[in-house]
Structure 1
Amino acid sequence: MPSHCRIAVAGLGLVGRRHADRIAAMPGVTLAGVADPSDRARVDAGAMGRAWYPALDALLDAEAPDGVIIASPTTLHVEQAALCIERGVPVLIEKPIGVSVAETAPLVARAEAAGVPILTGHHRRHNPLIHAARDVIAQGKLGRIRAVQATCWFYKPDAYFAEAPWRTQKGAGPISVNLAHDIDLLRHLCGEIACVTASATPSIRGAQNEDVAAALLEFASGAIGTISVSDGAVSPWSWELTSAEYPVYPVTQESCYQIAGTEGALSIPDLRLWTHEGAPDWWTPIRATSLIRGASDPLVNQIAHFADVIAGRAAPLVSGREGLRTLQVIEAIQRAAATRERVAITPA
């Protein structure tokens, strides 16, 4: 990682502050500045001893950072990323990469044509436990994957929405804000999703978006998956409460994903691999083996990877194209929920 790698952050909200704090604590990476129009961001940037700018273009002109992390509201992602691409500055865009496929696809194509890297902030792919799960699947220990189940249930307090009213608006519900991470991991672990059907229910708090949804996922491999999400349901079954990835969340001993194949099954994030003794047979004993994996902060890993991409030593693990493909699935789920139709997906 080059000692001169200077990374700026656009949007110093809940997620942007996490990025800024980690950059400040990492050797070889410097926080080049913060772009966010809020007074709170100005104060926070001053407390960190970093330059503050009300707009990203001003930061780019004044600081000429090596890369930019965009953690602003989703509606600004494409516009701000375009400013970076025009200047040849690599960008890491928080998920979802954009509001819609229609507005995001041209950005990704433009960046690819210009040779400017876009990374999508699906940071869970940088978690060592996901590396371990992917290795198990790649080694064929599950056989051919046939069934997938994912649960994403939790209760967000009213204050979460009050401090950022955009979170109550159409398109900012848990399908796009939360399910995007889970869909990306299912694609990463199990392959492309070819078709979806879905259902969603309007928020009982009166927001414009949904607060519960479920989808049936048909994978290109022939596997079938089910996934459900709610930000208004008390539950221990979500990545946030099972992975111990972010200390602000209480940790349960539950799992949120189950993947089953012709040879074995895997629960995640506890990484318990289930296999029968001898050939698979529901009349023979089945036992679980807990897999060993490392532990490290995936946000730190992602920033280190971003620095390597900037330096030309690595290709993006989650490229703009990958982020676009996950957004395609999210958009298909939203469309299927609205029309109650089966929606086919052709990967971008």
Structure 2
Amino acid sequence: MSEAPLKVAIVGFSGLIGKRHTVHVLENPATDLIAVIDPSPGAASIKTDLGVPETTPIFADVADLLKSTTVPKPDCAIICTPPHTHVPISTTLIEAGIHVLVEKPISDTVESGRALVALAKKNNVHLLVGHHRRFNPYIVAAKKAVSEGIVGNVLAVSAIWALCKPDPYFDADPALSWRKSRSRGGGVVLTNFVHEADILQHLLGRIVRVHAEEITPQRNAEARKDPQHDMAEEGVALTLRFASGVVGTFILSDAAVSPHSFEMGTGENPHIPRVRSGHDGHEAEGDEIDVYRILGTHGTLSVPDLILTSYGKGNARSWNDKLQREKLAIDTDPRVPFERQLDHFVKVVRGQEEPSCTGQAGLAAVQVCQAILESLATKKTVDIAE
């Protein structure tokens, strides 16, 4: 006999990420969307556009859902609200015994995130963080390759995440204003590098030291003249050290025109056109644009194009010899990473799998981001405690 679908509530369903989660929950036979929570004036029309059944109620906040006498208590919830709200919303749900998948970042400070992780453990509730790229087939293949040692001992990593966010990303709606506010969890470090911090640590282990140099801002010039301005950073250049001894560099910018971003390289975000390395940059038969280059004693693996450059297995390693290039395979599972992540969340709640990205792992990514922001503020190198 098959198990009954899990009862799911989505908090903040009208945003970009919330819409994607909503669609996947509606399509998944193992989940039943029993409520959506969003105070936005346009929530009702968005609900209709997404195909959410008319009988599925909209609540203004989590407290209203939990007080309802007409809707059953959810088994689990997916939180897709701005970062500064993640901890208070997750806290309310966890205290009610509801399992949580919270979008990244888990929190906007390490301290509040640490308290949330402890609360979930105390209440015996699963707390997962939505670092969906762990389920991307390119990252799955890269993790397997690095773990199997095909590049030898990893020495260093070089990476770029750079693209140009349009002005409406920040200003199309007053509800989006947090995206340009540092104190409210905005900025390219917490919004975007938190993904990279998680993937880098997923592939290479814990980051223990960072140094950050800010890239000259290009937007909001007038607002930045105010000494008390709260404008978030637009880009940084980073040096990194991992506990394993691996060192790295990372260029991060949301104001640069560039094809070097995970979204453009993999096509994972339907709103961002995919770019390939054909002669005009858009050839369907070209390779994915590289974002990470993992340098080892036996070869270099670039990701997401998954090209391994080496002298070949068993051959001598010398600059006098000709390098070989091999494209590694990825699995052919047709599910997108958000679907894989949802399936995983269901299995974790049912006790069938161990969590991939736990609250603790999500907190480790926030800790790296907070160290970067500290380095920007102090203009010093920052060590990261375990």
TM-score, L = length of structure 2: 0.87
**SS of residue matched to 2:42:** helix
Q: C-alpha distance in 1, partners of 2:84/2:152? A: 41
Ranges in structure 1 where 5+ consecutive residues have no aligned partner: none
Q: C-alpha distance in 2, partners of 1:211/1:111? A: 33
Aligned to 1:167: 179
Q: C-alpha distance in 2, partners of 1:195/1:58? A: 43
Q: C-alpha distance in 1, partners of 2:4/2:151? A: 42
- How much does 1:151 deviate? 0.6
Aligned to 2:59: 53
Q: Which 10-residue stretch deviates more, 331-340 or 58-67?
A: 58-67
Q: C-alpha distance in 1, partners of 2:248/2:257? A: 23
Match of 2:31 among 29, 32, 41: 29
Match of 2:104 among 95, 98, 112: 95
Report the identity percentage: 37
Structural mapping, 1:121-136, within 5 Å: 121-136=130-145
- Structure 2 residue identity aligned to 1:310: V
- How much does 1:113 deviate? 2.1
Contact 1:36-1:56 within 8 A present in 2 as well: no
1:304 and 2:343 matched: yes
1:146 and 2:155 matched: yes
Aligned to 1:19: 21
1:287 and 2:296 matched: no
Cα displacement string for residues 253-295 of structure 1 (whole angstroms, at most 9, x for unaligned residues): 2111110111111010011111114122222111111111124
Cα displacement string for residues 67-101 of structure 1 (whole angstroms, at most 9, x for unaligned residues): 10100011110000001110111100101111100
- How much does 1:190 deviate? 0.7
Ranges in structure 2 where 5+ consecutive residues have no aligned partner: 224-230, 277-288
Q: C-alpha distance in 1, partners of 2:4/2:320? A: 59
Aligned to 2:307: 272
- How much does 1:166 deviate? 1.2
Aligned to 1:330: 369
Structure 1 residue ranges (4+ consecutive) displaced by more than 4 angstroms after TM superposition: none
Q: C-alpha distance in 2, partners of 1:172/1:247? A: 22
Aligned to 2:269: 246
Contact 1:104-1:324 within 8 A present in 2 as well: yes
Aligned to 1:224: 247
Q: C-alpha distance in 2, partners of 1:85/1:200? A: 37
1:198 and 2:237 matched: no
Aligned to 1:210: 233
Q: C-alpha distance in 2, partners of 1:20/1:202? A: 37
Cα displacement string for residues 241-261 of structure 1 (whole angstroms, at most 9, x for unaligned residues): 001212321111211111011
Q: C-alpha distance in 2, partners of 1:131/1:311? A: 23
Q: C-alpha distance in 2, partners of 1:282/1:113? A: 56
Summarize the Cα distance change of 1:46–1:245 in structure 2 as closer, same or farther, 3 Å threshold.
closer
Q: Which 10-residue stretch deviates more, 337-346 or 230-239?
A: 337-346
- Structure 2 residue identity aligned to 1:183: A
Contact 2:21-2:338 within 8 A present in 1 as well: yes
Structural mapping, 1:168-187, within 5 Å: 168-170=180-182, 171-187=185-201
Contact 2:180-2:186 within 8 A present in 1 as well: yes
Contact 2:215-2:237 within 8 A present in 1 as well: no
Contact 1:2-1:311 within 8 A present in 2 as well: no
**SS of residue matched to 1:39:** coil
Contact 2:5-2:29 within 8 A present in 1 as well: no
- How much does 1:52 deviate? 0.4
Aligned to 1:116: 125
- How much does 1:46 deviate? 4.6
Aligned to 2:279: none
Q: C-alpha distance in 1, partners of 2:93/2:250? A: 35
Contact 1:32-1:51 within 8 A present in 2 as well: yes
Q: C-alpha distance in 1, partners of 2:310/2:4? A: 47
Contact 1:146-1:224 within 8 A present in 2 as well: yes
